[in-house]
A and B are shown apart, each in its own frame.
Chain A
Amino acid sequence: MTASIATLHGATLRFGARTVWQGLDLDLAPGELLAVLGPNGAGKSSLLRVLLGQLRLSAGEVTVAGKPARHGNRAIGLIPQRGSTAAGDVRARDLVRFGLDGHRWGIGRERALRARCDALLARVGARDYADVPVRLLSGGEQQRVRVAQALAGEPSLLLCDEPLAALDLQHQHAVARLIDAQCRARDTAVVFVTHEINPVLPFVDRVLYIAHGRARLGTPAEILCSECLSELHGRPVEVINGRHGIAIVGAAQAC
């Protein structure tokens, strides 16, 4: 068996008196894609911050690439929510270059990294708009550039924080497919926080569903069923399987 990329054992997170989630156990294998689902405020993004070493667990253990999670771990890549930054005025290639050497001191030389930036942009199909300011790109194009930036550090774990938010349906599917293809090819494990389950469902290995301080981990079929989600939400929730995906009904009222 290969070593886990990320593990959580009895992980509990509290903000003051409020328990966000507790007793979380997780073993993430290389190349595995884990979708993290749940209502707003369930602590999905907090889980990412725990893996990034930006939040400390109240109890339990977390490791990334075999070592306790720590701030600035180079084994991790991050795709943030769209529009979460003031990145608009720089070119697509500058954003990618940040992923290569933005953490180093000094001025550096752009020319030395030009070929690598081009190669990364070509990999995600963004070569054509390498020199266009990010603010002039469409949402789907911006997320492609984000994928290239995150891959620049050759991460063994990729964290995606709602990367499909505010994209239209077609681009949601395209970006999800791109992330999956790039990560499968390199055995990069992915933690994919999302509200939009259908675009990623074809690629998901396991689902972590967090709601009301509790979490369930399993295959999509095990977790995304009426019985399991009703139990998590403590209210009747219905999962409807359609031809083009699933619909979760009732969960919104239960939050």
Chain B
Amino acid sequence: MLSRIINFHDYGHLLPVVRNSLIAGAVVALVGGLIGPFVVSRDLPFAVHGISELSFAGASGALLIGSNVVAGAIVGSLIAALLLGLLGERAQQRNSVIGVVMPFGLGLGVLFLGLYRGRAANKFGLLTGQIVAVDTPRMRWLIVVCAVVVVALALMWRPLAFSGVDPDVAAARGVPTRALSILFMLTLGLAVATAVQIVGALLVLALLVTPAAAAMQVTATPAAVTALSVGFAVLATIGGILLATGSSLPISPYVTTISFTIFLVCRACGAQRTKRGWVLSR
């Protein structure tokens, strides 16, 4: 049993097979780690989950009609993100929109997969992640989309942080809060669509929320939060892929376990720090 979970037999032969996955995984983790602190400060984890289900529907639809799965995932994601951005500006409204849209998306996805007559691994992979399926064209797609997300975040960085943390004052200072929240949702949609390719639709939160939440346990310095969040996401993804390579299991349990362990450690450190009191600076 254990040897099925962790197995480094023939590892040297397997590594080249997952080379693309490692590159794609690192890039996607970078994006997840970057966008995570915004997701947490804007209280959007549930939205991430909702978007990923529609992304799954899009990807499985693409699989069924034999077109580009990444493009399908992006279309599904963007539709969900736009819906949430337009319909649910307030958290409460947004959560009910997600509650309505998410099961529909998941249902559609299951329908498409039910109709699909191809390889079973393709189906399961969309929900729980896959490693060997990242071929070179697909990796290029992922890198391009991730680059778009990084550039969009860099441009919006300050007003996005301001309006997420402090919306009333940001609005008073002339920050276009509504436009930013819609733009952010679309950017988030792209990030989710890429994460779905690696960890699968059900476990996107492990890449887009857990690393940021862990980082925010141990520091409040914005630059440190971002750096740690990215570091944790990359560690979980690369570690997860390397561990999964020797086994016959999907990648997601490895990624989520590493991610969750990091969170627990950070949580304990954060509790210690709060107990000791924050160091006063002079």
Binding site for B on A (CB under 8 A): 52, 54, 71-74, 76, 78, 80, 84-87, 89-91, 94-95, 98-99, 101-108, 110, 128-133, 136, 149-150, 153, 159
Contacts and interface: CB of A to CB of B under 8 A. Distances in A.
Contact of A99 (B169, B216, B279, B280): B169
Interface residues of B, number: 34
Interface string B138-166: 00000000000000001111110110111
Q: Interface of chain A, helix or strand or loop or mixed?
A: loop
A91 B220 contact: yes
Q: Interface of chain B, helix or strand or loop or mixed?
A: helix
A102 B171 CA distance: 11
A98 B223 contact: no
A102 B170 contact: yes
Contacts of B167: 85
A78 B222 CA distance: 23
A153 B154 contact: no
A87 B159 contact: no
B92 interface: no
A102 B159 CA distance: 5
A143 to B, nearest CB: 13
Contacts of A108: 157-158
A98 B280 CA distance: 21
B169 A80 contact: yes
B169 A89 contact: no
Given A85-B167, A86-B164, A133-B220, A104 B159 contact: yes
Given A133-B220, A136-B274, A74 B41 contact: no
Contacts of B221: 91, 131
Contacts of B222: 90, 94, 110
Given A84-B168, A133-B220, A153-B173, A103 B157 contact: no
B157 A106 contact: yes
Given A90-B220, A91-B220, A108-B158, A103 B173 contact: yes
Interface string B229-257: 00000000000000000000000000000
24 contacts: A72-B175, A74-B173, A78-B168, A85-B165, A86-B42, A86-B43, A87-B166, A89-B220, A90-B222, A94-B220, A94-B222, A98-B169, A102-B162, A103-B175, A104-B158, A104-B159, A105-B156, A105-B158, A106-B155, A106-B157, A131-B280, A132-B278, A150-B169, A159-B172
